[in-house]
Amino acid sequence: MKLFVGLGNPGANYAFNRHNVGFMAADAIASAHDFPAWRKRFSGLATEGKLGREQVLLLKPQTFMNESGRAVAEAFRFYKLDLGDVVVFHDELDLAPGKVRVKTGGGVAGHNGLKSLSAHIGNDYARVRIGIGHPGHKDLVSGYVLHDFAKADYAWLEPLLGAIASEAPHLADGTYDRFQSLVAHRLQAEDAAETEAQAPLAKPASRHKQISDDRPDEAPEHNGSLAGMLRRWLGS
């Protein structure tokens, strides 16, 4: 059994926050691989299915970010897992938007969800670091991560979540380098196809460009397709 944990905060008010991209990744994996409906387990929402040859429990703690480790520890101990069986998806300020890196262990860089996990189960679990960019000053971080993704972010966020979901079986079998490489390849291929399709037009901005205008957009449920994707993933 493998335990895949998406980090985020529960509730509709947080659903589109940058801090909730771990939840979004878990929802995308569950949808892409036909996992059954989410149900309440281990102080969270859980669903179980196959990724490749591995049985995987997907978990979204409902304890709020700062207490994520409490929910994860319940599942971890119930299944008598080793730290090598745990993969955590979380937002990463120190990566550009749309970048993904996988590492095992290391520091938590001030991420309260990771801090809670390490306190409850130990530190040497795998982390799928999903880049959201940095607002530029540490005093702006809290507001930035708890702010909804902007409409402009959907251009890189949707394909990124799709690539993570498609290549998730490589995380389940422990081939983390292959997962990272294939996600990058998928995104490069989509960038090339998009550029070719729009060749007669002005060159589009890179999906990895940091969004500098962070003014609130209209409510996500009224624009873009990310909201629709999330509604489908959540079964609503």
Residues annotated as part of the active site:
19
CB 35 within 8 A of CB 26: no
Closest to 148 measured CA to CA, from 225, 216, 65, 229: 216
**Residue 211 phi/psi, 5° resolution?**
-80, 115
CB 92 within 8 A of CB 26: no
Cα(220)–Cα(25) distance, rounded to whole angstroms? Answer: 18
Element (H, E) at 101: strand 100-104
Closest to 6 measured CA to CA, from 88, 113, 105: 88
Using CA atoms, how far residue 107 sits from 41, 70, 92, in Å, is 28, 19, 12
- Measured at the CA of 22, the angle between CA 134 and CA 59, to 5 degrees, comes to 155
Q: Is 40 exposed, middle or buried (0-12, 13-18, 19+ CB in 10 A)?
A: exposed
Closest to 184 measured CA to CA, from 98, 63, 105: 98
Cα(214)–Cα(147) distance, rounded to whole angstroms? Answer: 9
Cα(29)–Cα(58) distance, rounded to whole angstroms? Answer: 9
